[in-house]
Amino acid sequence: MSDAPSGQADIARTLAEQWREVRKGLLEITEKLPESRVSRATERAGWTLRHELASLASIDQEVAHLLAAARSGAVTLDAVAIRRLRGEAMHAAQELRLAPLREHLADGGERAARAIEEAEAFLATSLSLAGKETTTVLEHVRAQLKRTSASIDVIGKHLD
């Protein structure tokens, strides 16, 4: 058990459950997505549905990385390093066919959810991403959860 107050443990558990629920919705929607549509353009200039999916894979990687950094005591993270992490994660995901990409998203989502649960003692930690306002770990994870939901909506609009 951690040294986190009970309330923080509850918040971490709830946030991890929300992460899993959103990921479940993502996986359900991608089951309806044929391989032939992943290259369909979205409203975002230059982006396809594959880019959206790859972006979600990068969010999982980023969240797990940031939570590990918070546990190790890092409170300021280099924006260039984070962009590199996102870019590498997106590139790796974009190279996958749809079925392996679904598995990749399922695994990455679960890794991020476990990292959220394990970071309960660090959710209130201030986090400074170079070039952005200082926030807390909790606020950043919530923002990434919201961003994930928005991407799922984009994907859903292109199923029709």
Can you tell me the distance from the alpha carbon of 19 to that of 6, in angstroms, rounded to the nearest whole number? 20
Q: Are 117 and 16 in contact (CB under 8 A)?
A: yes
CATH architecture designation of domain 6-157:
Up-down Bundle (1.20)
The pLDDT of residue 133 is 65
List C-alpha distances in Å: 121 to 5, 55, 101: 7, 28, 32
Sorting pLDDT into bands at 50, 70 and 90, what band is 2? very low
The pLDDT of residue 13 is 94
Can you tell me the distance from the alpha carbon of 151 to that of 51, in angstroms, rounded to the nearest whole number? 10
pLDDT at 46 over 50: yes
List C-alpha distances in Å: 156 to 30, 48, 133: 9, 13, 31
The pLDDT of residue 1 is 39
Task: Report which DSSP code applies to 129.
Answer: E
The pLDDT of residue 76 is 64
Per-residue pLDDT of 71-125, as tens digits, reads: 877 666 677 788 889 999 999 999 999 999 999 999 999 999 999 999 888 888 7
Q: Domain spans of the chain?
A: 6-157
The pLDDT of residue 119 is 87
